[in-house]
Amino acid sequence: MIDPQRLLDWRFEETVQAYNERDTTIYNLGIGLGADPMDAGQLRFVTIEKDLLAFPTMAVVLARPPSISADPRSGINRTMVVHGEQGLELLRPLAPAGRVRSAARVSAVVDKGPGKGAVIYVESTLSDDASGAPIARLWSSTFARADGGFGGSSEAPRTPHRIPEGRAPDAVCDLPTFPNQALLYRLNGDLNPLHSDPATARRAGFERPILHGLCTYGVCAHAVLRSYCGYDPARLRGFDLRFSAPVIPGETISVEMWREGEVVSFRALVRARNAKVVDNGRAVVAS
């Protein structure tokens, strides 16, 4: 059973990671960039020998702290864990190669009640290792589906962003995923067998391995960068969303977007099975 105070007191060691242009290209390919090899905008992110660009959401996989749910001391049933929310504030463009450092902490533990699960919030800062200059601030929530009822607070620390109502989206971007995409995306470091092993996926209640939430996150950011930023990564300043259902590799993700000034609200659907897979999305884009 979860002990909320133990999680709030959890000590993360600072994590340092050096990465290079090959790592950046693997990330970019893993979220589907380069699917159209004739699209000059996408090629800027996958042509390693020619002014390679880092995709902004790569910040969420660099120097990631160890997963709490993978540690038996947490009391979390790892098999029943899914990514709940992810947020990112970009303070400067990400370089295609470098050495970075992250510092993390558990900011909240929410008890949704017996049979309803728990939500664990983690915040971190990604910085350049040499200069100490911050690159990005990140936050995420983990939904531990089997671990509610430990008597903790039920108050969530964040209010979901509201999608505009009563009008059609200003833009819609359909992006395909591929049957083997989770196997490629896991090369970024998330080796959870939920995304690669059919038996593990079935034990978790899925017919087959599901796409990483952070891969879906990158696909949605691709839709915003393509639709509103002209594939200029420096224009994306913030990117938050809530995962509402898993994506099966091979499905097409349809991202609906509404723009109001520098804020792009969005949600994502898999229309083939009438599923909303992302909700409450908020991107901040510079003009």
Quickly list H helices, 175-268.
Answer: 181-185, 198-203, 213-228
Catalytic residue among 83, 195, 212, 222: 195
195 as an active site residue: the answer is yes
Taking alpha carbons only, the member of 215, 224, 234 closest to residue 281 is 224
Q: Is 161 a catalytic residue?
A: no
- Catalytic choice (210, 212, 240, 248): 210
**pLDDT confidence band for 153 (50 / 70 / 90):** confident
In the numeric block, which tokens belong to residue 240? 């938050």
Closest CA to 111 of 159, 157, 150, 160: 150
Give the domain range for residue 212.
4-285
Give pLDDT, residue 68: 80
**Active-site annotation holds for 190:** yes
pTM over 0.95: no
30, 75, 213, 281: the active-site residue: 213
The model's pLDDT over 241-276, given as tens digits with 9 standing for 90+, comes to 999 999 999 999 999 999 999 999 999 999 999 999
CATH number of domain containing 47: 3.10.129.10
202-248: pLDDT as tens digits: 988 899 999 999 999 999 999 999 999 999 999 999 999 999 999 99
282 contacts 161 by C-beta, under 8 angstroms: yes
pLDDT at res. 75: 76
Question: pLDDT confidence of 70, banded at 50, 70, 90?
Answer: confident
- Does the pLDDT of residue 145 top 90, yes or no? no
Q: Is 162 helix (H, G, I), strand (E, B) or coil?
A: coil
Number of domains in the chain: 1
Identify which of 134, 163, 3, 124 has the alpha carbon closest to the alpha carbon of residue 71: 3
State the catalytic residue, choosing from 190, 218, 222, 279.
190
